[in-house]
Structures are given as structure tokens and as C-alpha cells.
Amino acid sequence: MEELLIALAKGLVDDKDSVRVTVDEPNEDGVVVYHLSVAEGDMGRVIGKQGRIAKAIRVVMRAAGVHQGTKVMVEID
């Protein structure tokens, strides 16, 4: 899952070395939170107009989580 998020983010940004993903342990509801960090200049590329790209990233990650039987949430820091 972490590799999927990294691959999605690196495909969008210019500074591929600045892409960082941290994973929290599942909370009491069983949701695993993935924190995505990119360079300041690439933040607009990851969020997109009106947050459309960010929503698409979250949908893909949620679908992959359902496929693996986990609940996933993505936060863009």
C-alpha cells in the first residue's frame, strides 16, 4: 500500500526525492492513516484544482485497502 501511494505521488511531482510517506498504526476503528509529504512547490500538483487529484488518490488508496481488507485514509501534509 505504501509503495502504491509513493508511485502515485512520484508520477505527479517534479521533485521525486522529496516524496515521503509515513504510516500510522491502525486506530481504534481499524483505520490505517497514510501521511503523504511532498515539496512545497509540488503541493499544488498533488492537490489539483478544487482537490480533484487528492480525491482521486484517496479513492485509489481506499479501493486498494478494500481489496486487502483494510480501511485506509490518506492525509496530505
Strands of the sheet with 20-23, listed across from one edge: 20-23, 31-37, 71-76
pLDDT average, residue stretch 66-71: 92
- Asked if residues 35 and 29 have their Cβ atoms less than 8 Å apart, the reply is no
Q: What is the pTM of this model?
A: 0.90
pLDDT average, residue stretch 20-48: 93
Cell numbers 500538483 correspond to: 45
Q: Which domains can be identified in the chain, with CATH numbers? A: 2-76 (3.30.300.20)
Q: What's the CA gap between 34 and 72, in Å, rounded?
A: 7
Is residue 77 over pLDDT 90? no
pLDDT of amino acid 36: 96
pLDDT average, residue stretch 23-33: 92
The mean predicted confidence, pLDDT, of the chain is 94
* Encoded amino acid at 16, one letter: K
Segment holding 10, helix H or strand E: helix 2-10
